[in-house]
Chains A and B, each alone.
Chain A
């Protein structure tokens, strides 16, 4: 081959050249060193950091889930407690209202009784006064009528007293 005369120094078959072999090994060694020094540590660091971040994220999520469940339980407990307290307050308020109502009813009843008694007393008083005035009027009428009948004036304290006793007896007898 013509172009093999350009300086091929191979002394072994298949073009194996110890110097070229060494050069290729050095070339690979440089590449490996550069990648091992500058690329792979950064790559591993980033992958590890990401794995740690993801792991932490998953753990945080699990922890947050537990916290949420705990908060949910606490919320339920608080709501139940509030509900019970509310019911208790309603019951107490209801009982207090009943008590107040009963008290007010009793007071009103007493007051009403007083009013009735006062009214009855006033009625009795007015009845007595009316009865007295009526009795006097009836006595006057009776005296006048008797005077007219006998043609003589019935005057004097004795006749009035007789008429009034008559009227009292008539009242007692239910006339």
Chain B
């Protein structure tokens, strides 16, 4: 995206119509569906999946070298990773307490960095601009596509959170792990009792059913919050980049970096909060609430 537009600017061209040939480039195609690039043993491989794998690799490249030969006096990348890890450990312990904070830290941190890397991929050069031309598209400017062909491309990379498969998968993981921790911490009887209870019948039962619906609704709220923010940001960058090449999108890069960070943090933080709630019984919640009053 960035390089295509930069190239256009250096050529002294503006994204305006040039004579009867029509616009020099067109608005990219926007679609919520991911682009399937190829299949491996029947498994579809989309550009968002490749981006997600890339985000995983980036996260590993941050953590593994930094934690390989750790020293008591940190330096370089270890320093940065430790600083972020300490912030997240403190945050986890503050929300979930000393007992559970450290247990939740790995999942919360993995989610945070994975989503963050995926979100920040949005501004990388080549993302959504390098790809395979669609059948019938003509490369009119060397390796570049111009005019009506400019949006006839299947990008190789697309920010993973602009695909609901990515966000829903994370939401499912978050909710499922939350339930697993609930069962482990409280035992099956108490945990199921949160949703199906005959105490204070029939109000307790109705509340339990609502709790169950809430758990399922979390998948939707989790996934569509992230998807909506990132998809909207992606569209914003593409539209602004088309209207004002290079500079138009650049102005919004800091905003998108911020949104990407906030959304990653919100996802991780909500997972942490729900995990904390899952390992807390109803009675403890009531006791805590009464203590606060």
Residues of A bordering B, CB below 8 Å: 1-4, 6-10, 14-17, 19-25, 27-28, 30-32, 34-36, 38-40, 42-47, 49-50, 53
Q: Which parts of B161-188 form the interface with A (CB within 8 Å)?
A: 163-166, 168-170, 172-173
Q: Does B56 contact A (CB under 8 A)?
A: yes
Closest 5 CB pairs of A and B: A15-B33, A24-B169, A39-B63, A7-B36, A31-B56
CA distance in complex: A53, B73 (Å):
11
B interface residues (Cβ-Cβ under 8 A, vs A): 29, 31-39, 42-46, 48-49, 52-53, 56, 59-60, 63-64, 66-68, 70-72, 74, 81-82, 85-86, 89, 102, 105-107, 109-110, 114, 134, 152-154, 160, 163-166, 168-170, 172-173
Query: What is the minimal beta-carbon distance from A95 to any residue of chain B, in angstroms?
Result: 65
Q: How far does the alpha carbon of A20 sit from the alpha carbon of B51 in the complex, in Å?
A: 13
B56–A28 touching, CB < 8 Å: yes
Cross-chain contact B35 with A39 (CB below 8 angstroms): no
Q: How many A-B residue pairs have CB under 8 A?
A: 147
CB < 8 Å neighbour of B106 from A10, A40, A42: A40
Contacts of A46 in B (CB 8 A): 67, 70-72, 74, 82
Chain A residues positioned under 8 Å from B154 (CB to CB): 3, 6
| Max count, chain A CB within 10 A of own CB: residue among B33, B34, B72 | B33
Q: Take A34-B60, A46-B82 as given contacts and tell me if A25 and B31 are in contact as well, using a CB distance cutoff of 8 Å.
A: no
**Beta-carbon contact of A39 and B52 below 8 Å:** no
Does B34 lie within 8 Å of A7, measured CB to CB? no
Q: Are B59 and A35 in contact (CB under 8 A)?
A: yes
Please state if B39 and A7 are interface contacts (CB–CB under 8 Å).
yes
Q: Which residues of B contact A8 (CB under 8 A)?
A: 33-36, 44
Q: Give Cα A22–Cα B44 distance, bound, in whole angstroms.
A: 10
State the CA gap A16–B38 with chains docked (Å). 17
Kindly identify which residue among B53, B63, B107, B168 contacts A27, using a CB–CB cutoff of 8 Å: B53
Q: In the complex, which of the residues B35, B48, B60 contacts A3, with contact meaning CB atoms closer than 8 Å? A: B35
CB distance from A1 to the nearest CB of B (A): 5
Cβ–Cβ contact A24 & B82, under 8 A: no
